[in-house]
Structure 1
Amino acid sequence: MSMMTPEIRPSAIARVNPVAKLAVALLISCALMLSIDWVSAATALLLEAVLLAWCGLNARQFWLRTAPVWIAAPFGMLTTVLYGQDSGAVLWGAGLVTITEGSVALGLAIGLRVLAIGIPGIVLLATTDPTDLADGLAQVVRLPARFVLGALAGLRLVGMFIDDWHSLALARRARGVGDGGGLRGRARRFAGLAFALLVLSVRRGSKLATAMEARGFGSDEPRSWARESVFGRRDVVVVALGLTIAAAAISAAVLAGTWRFVLA
């Protein structure tokens, strides 16, 4: 079962090697983590928005998948504005809470950074098949096959865990278990479901490990791959675009005088 749903239409980004997508996400993330300023984050976010037209997601899919990022960014910004490091003129103060020009600029930088780092990662993951990613990591990056295949098997079980959670909830409700109301009842019901899912996951993981071992997935012998993962010119162009976005973000911040190296 692919992580790409059938509603996602084929796109230029979907045909790119997953290793190239991963490299782009890492390049942009590393560049934005070198400094905490709003100019570099805003520049990266603006350039990323231009490229989102080729991601293959329609407007509804895009907003649904990136909703957690859009929710987290304002909360991170608000927390930093209220409790971040004070500098510059005081704009408002009440007790232990003080809002200054520096804390506002820092909050804006944090919020934009969350968006600039989170949105590309979610969009690229939505257009990536887990098997293709495993093929790329093993054949292009040359990671150990045992590690890659184990991670792929675990990732494939995520969807099953969600189905198991719903099945366990329905089964417990049919038996009248955990129907207590109130906050305490919901907490006990959640704890019971979580423990049951943990036990089920351990059992299924043990069976999966035994089955994979029996089929030779744990062998140290060089293995063949059903699908060849090729890192071509299109993938090089995509990585170059990611490098360009990272360089443009840093350059814009340096030219604007807002660049603050975090390790300085």
Structure 2
Amino acid sequence: MTGVLGRTNPLVLAALGLLGLVASLAVRDLVTAGVTLGAYVLLGVLLLPRGAGPAARWLAVVVAGLSVAWSAWLLGGRDPVVALVAGLRIAVLALPGVAVAPLIEPSALADQLGQRLRLPARFVVGLAAALHRFERLGLVAEQAARSRRSRGLGPGRGPFEQARHGASVTYAVLVATLRDATSMSVAMDARGFAVTHARTWAEPAPWTRVDGAVLALGVAVAVLPFAVAALA
């Protein structure tokens, strides 16, 4: 995967997402929000791999920002500046996590959590397995819908038929998820995760100079809105 962030430690990527929360705390005016978002866009163009993740994820940030701005406009005396700042604060909060989420590989993240942060192996492996399962939810839903259509139980054209079909597919996904979780739990217990405390790891968890530089850059961007707010 090209792009600096495509080769960055997944632990650093997760930290970048959390640093967006820190940066959003300082967004109290339009200048701070504009400077911070400008820094986001610049770094995104320079560091993000092209075509990494679905483009629709950016729409989720836009919808979240607009909904919060609308609520702030209604409840904040119908002041457009207050509404705009509130919406931009959500964008500052959400953009880093939305940008890096598709780049985080569950197995690599688990290696870092277990070897770098020394988290319990049972929790780490369970988290990695859950993230892998989460990635498969769309495929499971598609298979469930295809199975219903093959039995002549496809959705009708009316809204009630569509809602009934969606509820049936959701229930099938829930059942499949619970079945997979039970199988995973049994497999983990069979491998001694319930009683063993010291474990080895199949893959290394390296930390490179690029990882340190990206983390330092993320901290600098998180501090940027505080500096701008202090100077404004």
Deviations 1:198-255 (A, max 9, x none): 1121112111211222123434331111122133432222221112112211111222
2:142 corresponds to which residue? Answer: 166
CA contact 1:73–1:114 (8 Å) conserved in 2: yes
| Larger helix percent | 2
1:76 corresponds to which residue? Answer: 68
Q: 2:100 aligns with which of 124, 144, 147?
A: 124
Q: 1:51 aligns with which of 35, 43, 55?
A: 43
**Unaligned 5+ runs, structure 2:** none
Q: 1:208 aligns with which of 167, 184, 198?
A: 184
Structure 2 Cα separation of the partners of residues 175 and 238 of structure 1: 52
Structure 2 Cα separation of the partners of residues 187 and 142 of structure 1: 45
Cα separation, partners in 2 of 1:186 and 1:253, compared to 1, 3 Å: same
Question: Is 1:20 the counterpart of 2:12 in the alignment?
Answer: yes
1:6 corresponds to which residue? Answer: none
Structure 2 Cα separation of the partners of residues 85 and 26 of structure 1: 28
1:144 corresponds to which residue? Answer: 120
TM-score (normalizing by structure 1): 0.79
Structure 1 Cα separation of the partners of residues 53 and 132 of structure 2: 21
1:67 alignment partner AA? L
Q: Shift of residue 140 of structure 1?
A: 1.4
Number of residue-to-residue matches in the alignment: 231
Q: Shift of residue 24 of structure 1?
A: 2.5
Structure 2 Cα separation of the partners of residues 154 and 166 of structure 1: 19
Give the % identical residues. Answer: 31
1:11 corresponds to which residue? Answer: 3
Structure 2 Cα separation of the partners of residues 180 and 11 of structure 1: 45
Cα separation, partners in 2 of 1:184 and 1:214, compared to 1, 3 Å: same
2:88 alignment partner AA? L
Cα separation, partners in 2 of 1:181 and 1:28, compared to 1, 3 Å: closer
Structure 1 Cα separation of the partners of residues 194 and 58 of structure 2: 37
For the residue of structure 1 that corresponds to 2:202, the secondary structure is: coil
Structure 2 Cα separation of the partners of residues 199 and 80 of structure 1: 40
1:4 corresponds to which residue? Answer: none
**Unaligned 5+ runs, structure 1:** 1-8, 87-98, 257-264
Structure 1 Cα separation of the partners of residues 155 and 14 of structure 2: 44
Structure 1 Cα separation of the partners of residues 28 and 86 of structure 2: 7
Query: RMSD over aligned Cα, in angstroms?
Result: 2.1
TM-score (normalizing by structure 2): 0.89
1:130 alignment partner AA? P
CA contact 2:140–2:173 (8 Å) conserved in 1: yes
For the residue of structure 2 that corresponds to 1:228, the secondary structure is: coil
Structure with the greater alpha carbon radius of gyration: 1
Q: Shift of residue 178 of structure 1?
A: 5.4
Select between 188-197 and 210-219 the one with higher mean Cα deviation.
210-219
Structure 1 Cα separation of the partners of residues 26 and 36 of structure 2: 13
Q: Shift of residue 62 of structure 1?
A: 6.8
Detail structure 1 runs of 4+ shifted over 4 Å in the superposition: none
Question: Is 1:85 the counterpart of 2:76 in the alignment?
Answer: yes
Deviations 1:168-205 (A, max 9, x none): 11111222225444221111111111112211211121
Residue correspondence of structure 1 range 62-73 to structure 2 within 5 A: 63-73=55-65
